[in-house]
Structure 1
Amino acid sequence: MYESLLDPTSELDLWDAELYGPPDRAPAPDASLHELAGHELEAFARQRRLAVAQEYRLIGEILREAELEPDFWTGPDPTLDPLWVDHRGRTVSAIRKERRDFAARAAAADVALRLRMSEATVRTRASHAEAMRERTPRLWSLFLAGRVSEQNAVTAASLAATLPADACEAWATFDARVVEVVEVLTPAKFRVAARAAREREHPESIEERHRRAADDRGVWSAAELDGMGSLGASMPAAKARAAWSRIDAIARRLAAAKGEERTLAQLRADVFADLLISGVTEAAGPNIRAIVAITVPVLTLLGASDEPAMLEGYGPIDIETAKQLAGSATSWIRVLTDPVTGTVLDVDRRTHRVPADLQRWIQVTQATCVFPGCSRPARECDLDHRLDWQYGGTTSSDNLDPACEHHHMIKHGTRWESYRCPATGVTWWVSPTGMRSASDPAPF
């Protein structure tokens, strides 16, 4: 063990416990090796914290500079031209604010591709860095010195950002309180301490804050492995507790029924789904109604293969589930594929809502936004002309890409560019910094 500290050819003296009894006079012979390994581990941990902190610092600086000096990302300011006129009737201040926003978006996209992370993560890290730099400077210094873990720094930054924008005194006292414990508490315990500090220093009453926080309530879902999915919600605590209590009570009543074999956790999940889908528990049969796109290998459809079907926006599902969804959906698109080449053989045109053939084809062949790293489904995207219509671009599959509103705006509002390689058919994006990145391959 401890290959970095031990000479593999060395020999250690062994303590003869039977002859001498327990070694109470001195530590075990290899205790120093444990200590050295511990020190080495601490050194690596600090190096990692230093690197993470510098990453936050640089991300924050890049996005801040992009907003301060947007010309690099968006091109020259048109409002400086004495002959400039905005045909949409916007004011100079509105134009300049939009340019700053576009510059920050373009810079975030550039950083995201370099670090292989989402743009949302880049923007979040920049905001955390800005919150620490501005509102908790003492914590920020400790973070940059490698003395604070990323988890604790993010917790403090998130809480500091929720203090009022004009509460400088509250920022300072919050900063002073958290630096007393930020280096010694584990993330779980620090969250409790930091929340308590934030509560003590917040100048507004909790009633006012609750009314404002309730405006941000919402529901979200995510695809999980093995045909599963998760569903979450943010709501007032009283409602959340009441909903949990009802789900738990129903699940426990079902658990007491004779012959029930499901666990309490399984019962809660089933009750939750049944209540939301049909309004009652133990609803029979699938009650999901959706517009879905299902890719079915032709031999699977004929019963000659067990290759799974593909559910748009999720991935592989079993053929029985695919048939059930298709049977209960009000509108669905079936795509038959060759089992060897994967070539599309047929696109079912029998849908309730009939989109243009070209739009449907692009949504099938390009499942998500064409910008690298973006997972927005193609059906929720704009169809972007790579070569603008006004410059002679055609409305054809060779010139159209699905682009979410965010990346569509980046392409047309900044110096980001895209082009498709005629030899490979791959769409490439070029950042204002000159970095080139190909669109992501199909996930499945």
Structure 2
Amino acid sequence: MDTSVPLADRPSPAPRSWDGVPWPADDELDDEVAWARLLDLGAASHRHDAFSADDVFSSVHVRPEGAAADGEAADDDATDDDAATASASDLDAILGHLELIAAERHRLAAEEGRLIATVLRDAAADPTPWVGPDPTLDYTWSDARGRTAGAVRRDRVDLAQRAAAAEMAVRLRLSEQTVRTRATHVEALRERCPRLWDAFAAGRTSERHAVEAARLATSLPHDETAWRAFDDGAAETAMRLTPTKFAVAARAVRERVHAESIDARHRRAARDRGVWMAPELDGMASLTAFLPAERARSIMTRLDGAARHLHAAPDEERTLAQLRADVLADLVTVSSADLAATGRSDAPVPKGEGTPRAETTPRGDSASRVGAAPTSTTTRTHAASPTVVVTVPALTLLGADDRPAILDGYGPIDLDTARRLAGEASSWVRLLTHPVTGAPLVLDRQTYRVPTALRRWLGVTSPTCVFPGCNRLARDCDLDHLSAWADGGSTDADNLAPECRHHHRLRHETRWTPTHDPVTGDLQWTSPLGGTYDTDPPPF
């Protein structure tokens, strides 16, 4: 016999005596139980790494469709309704847990940045753990380079922060620039955007919001009124908009509060113009140019016009995107002789890859040659064709092996391109190796100056700076004697290592110390705090 009271006839829940709030209804209590169960499972996941959405579903007992409980008749409609209600409740609980995880991730990102900034701030306050005792405190001190005591102390602070950033970078597997940038962002937010920093530190907004706000706040002049106005506008929108929309809104706020004219800002920003290349997959690369907007727009207009002109040809199969890329490559690399062959300097390129090749000048899309000496080429203004180094195994050139060739500064390239570049090379550099092991023979030089051939070889064996995590190409580095020349160290491949100027200074002016094993050739770095770190393995 069913003695349950119909819902419409049930009395309203009585209010609680202490706060006047009605007692929760049964379905509300069920939701609270499910949420408590979810939180308990979440805590267990931290202990056992075993939490998943399946745990939540398995914790809620929903009868399969059409199944009846003991002592009850099957009621399909009621079962469907119960299952739908339970499923919605479970999904809501999972999404609630997801929100908690996201907030915690944001909070931890803020805490990571705060700790990085604290370490760098402490290094500036007390450089001694990183660079050693202050020599200027000795009354007999005199600087061998003629610096004043104030200059030496400023250098100590700078080097201590560099050494501390390097220590954190190798521990966190980050670049030093990333470490210093995170510290800069934290300092900018705490000083200029305290409201937004509090929201980030509490996990109420994401790291992307915080980074964009810090970048914009850093660009504002030293004006606390402007900082406060930017913070008010940015903090309000950061907790409501996605990062992309927030970036647009925050830039608009910056423009409103910035006291300096846009003309002055544009002139200053134009000093940062530049071009960068980033390797991509499958023998491709991206080329990025940072230019004044009107020049970038002009370039795109010209590329698009030439591409559309070519695209109208009846036998043209390339897409507009491919044509823009080909036109750009030819406009940059084609020689004046090639341009003359087309009839005029701004003529669009014919179908295919690149313009016709003149006999005396390398073609624009194949000007990179193995060991080639620079030649004079022009694209309206005179420029030198760059020397590009490609390392190709001899058996690969002969077709007896498929080991990839290595393009200096990029990485593996396809074999057809490597063979073509090798065939077009005007000169070769032979590297003598051991006939059995294949190891390069040591080139011992009894002079301090590093010969060109030895420098070239070291660029092959150590393509980047030997400090852990540094990507500066060897050709842009100093060649450091691991055993000092003054202490009897020789100028040979076993005693030289490429170090960028920054890490070269860290090696000689801080407590970062390299240790070289003369038997195995392994190089290891010891940090000011005593940690030891191996150099990175060769990238290719």
Are the equivalent residues in 2 in contact too, given 1:136–1:171 (CA < 8 A)? yes
Instruction: Look up the match of 1:117.
Output: 174
What code does the residue aligned with 2:273 have? R
What code does the residue aligned with 1:2 have?
A
Pick from 276, 284, 297: which aligns with 1:228?
284
Unaligned runs of 5+ in 2: 1-51, 68-74, 336-345, 350-354, 357-362, 368-384, 444-449
Alignment correspondent of 2:417: 321
SS at match of 1:4: helix
What residue number does 1:5 align with? 56
**Whole-Å separation in 1 of the counterparts to 2:405 and 2:436:** 15
Give the TM-score normalised by structure 1. 0.90
Distance in structure 2 (CA, Å) of the matches to 1:223 and 1:388: 36
Q: How does 1:320-339 map to 2 (within 5 A)?
A: 320-328=416-424, 333=429
Aligned residue type for 1:4:
D
Shift, 1:395, TM fit: 2.4
Q: Among 155, 170, 173, which residue is 2:212 paired with?
A: 155
One-letter identity of the residue aligned with 1:199:
E
Instruction: Pick one of 298, 320, 327 that aligns with 1:242.
Output: 298
Structure possessing the higher radius of gyration over alpha carbons: 2
Residue 454 of structure 2 corresponds to residue 358 of structure 1: yes
Residue of 170, 182, 185 corresponding to 2:226: 170
How much does 1:265 deviate? Answer: 0.9
Q: Kindly tell me: are residues 335 and 398 of structure 1, through their superposed partners in 2, closer, same or farther at Cα, counting changes over 3 Å?
A: closer
For 1:31, the aligned partner's letter is A
Per-residue deviation, 1:387: 2.4
Task: Name the stretch that deviates more: 198-207 or 386-395.
Answer: 386-395
Q: Deviations over 1:9-64 (max 9, x none)?
A: 94445499x9759x899964310011011011111111211111111111111112
Letter in 1 for 2:218: A
Q: Is the 8 A contact 1:430 1:436 kept in 2?
A: yes
Cα offset for 1:425?
A: 1.9
Q: Cα–Cα, structure 1 residues 44 and 334, in superposed 2: closer, same or farther, change >3 Å? A: farther
Secondary structure of the 2:195 match is: helix
The answer (yes or no) to whether the contact 2:524–2:532 under 8 Å persists in 1 is: yes
The alignment status of 1:93 with 2:144, answered yes or no, reads: no
Residue 254 (1) aligns with residue 305 (2): no
Cα distance between partner residues in 1 of 2:422 and 2:265: 45
Conservation of the 8 A alpha-carbon contact between 2:494 and 2:518? no
2:500 counterpart residue number: 404
How many residues are aligned here? 436
**1:252-331 superposed matches below 5 A:** 252-278=308-334, 281-282=348-349, 283-284=355-356, 285=363, 286-288=365-367, 289-328=385-424
Amino acid paired to 1:375 = N
Task: Give yes or no for contact 1:296–1:336 (8 Å, CA) kept in 2.
Answer: no
Moved more, 40-49 or 90-99: 90-99
Whether 2:473 is the aligned partner of 1:417: answer no
Determine the C-alpha separation between the residues in 1 that align with 2:531 and 2:247.
39
- Give 1:324 deviation, angstroms: 3.1
Is the contact between residue 336 and residue 346 of structure 1 (CA under 8 Å) also seen in structure 2?
A: no
- Indicate the percent of aligned positions where both proteins have the same amino acid: 53
What residue number does 1:351 align with? none
Structure 1: gaps spanning 5 or more residues: 348-353
Give the deviation of 1:298 after TM superposition.
2.3
8 Å CA contact 1:297, 1:337 repeated in 2: no
Q: 8 Å contact 1:298–1:338 — kept in the other structure?
A: no
Higher mean C-alpha displacement, 88-97 vs 192-201: 88-97
- Distance in 1, matches of 2:81 and 2:63, equals 18
SS in 1 for 2:287: strand
One-letter amino acid of the counterpart of residue 189, structure 1: K
Q: Does 1:55 align with 2:151?
A: no
The answer to whether 1:433 aligns with 2:529 is yes
Quote the residue 1:179 is aligned against: 235
Give, in whole Å, the separation in 2 of the partners of 1:335 and 1:11: 73
How has the CA–CA distance of structure 1 residues 327 and 141 changed in structure 2, closer, same or farther, with 3 Å as cutoff?
same
Between 1 and 2, higher relative CO (CA 8 Å, sep ≥ 6) is seen in: 1
> Which residue type is aligned with residue 241 of structure 2?
L
Deviations, residues 322-377 of structure 1 (Å, cap 9, x unaligned): 23334545665465889997645999xxxxxx943332332222121111111212
Structure 2: distance between partners of 1:426 and 1:241: 50
2:490 alignment partner in structure 1: 394
Q: Identify if the C-alpha distance between structure 1 residues 307 and 398 changes in structure 2 by more than 3 Å, giving closer, same or farther.
A: closer
